[in-house]
Amino acid sequence: DLRRDMNQLHKDQQDDHATLNRFVTDLNDRHLALHKAHADTVDNLSSTNDQLSNSKQDLETALNQNVATLKKDLATKAKEANDRADGVERHHANVAKESSKRMNTLELRISGVQGACGEHKRDLTKLREEVNGLTVKSAAHDVDINKVQSDANK
């Protein structure tokens, strides 16, 4: 009986050992699969990180180029605006100067017209006086003619 128990114990031990070997093998397989998945994930993360770095560099480069272009465009537009404003100011000064000359010319013309008008008024006054004098003389001549005619008829 002891032999049989020993054989049974030996067999149980071999069965337990085989079971443990299978369990360890399964654990090793799962560990290797997990390690491979971890390595794949690390590779994917590394690749994604590299892509992000490249994208970040590309975006920063594009942003810097856009900022430089915008600054250049803004400076150009500011210069154009200042040039236009200067042109408008020069034009305004020229127009104001020309308008001033025209106003002075008109004032001189108006002054001349006013002087001529005054002259004409004086001439009209003289002509009225002369007409009045002639009217008086004409009336006196009419009276003389009527007297002479009346004397001749008598």
Q: Give the alpha-carbon dihedral of 23, 27, 30, 35, to 10 degrees.
A: -170
* 1 — pLDDT class (breaks 50, 70, 90): confident
- List pLDDT tens digits, range 97-140: 999 999 999 999 999 898 888 888 999 999 999 999 999 999 99
What is the distance between the alpha carbons of residues 22 and 6, in angstroms, rounded to a whole number?
A: 24
Amino acid 25: pLDDT:
97
Amino acid 150: pLDDT:
86
Q: pLDDT higher for 61 or 149? A: 61
Q: What percent of the chain has pLDDT over 90?
A: 80
Q: Mark residue 113 as left, alpha or beta (left: phi above 0; alpha: psi -120 to 50; beta: remaining).
A: alpha
Residue with tokens 């002509």: 127
What is the distance between the alpha carbons of residues 101 and 89, in angstroms, rounded to a whole number?
A: 18
pLDDT for 77 beyond 80: yes
pLDDT for 154 beyond 80: no
Q: pLDDT higher for 2 or 77? A: 77
- List pLDDT tens digits, range 36-67: 999 999 999 999 999 999 999 999 999 999 99
Q: What percent of the chain has pLDDT over 70?
A: 100
Q: What distances in angstroms separate CA 41 from CA 31, 77, 98, 109, one per listed residue?
A: 15, 52, 83, 98
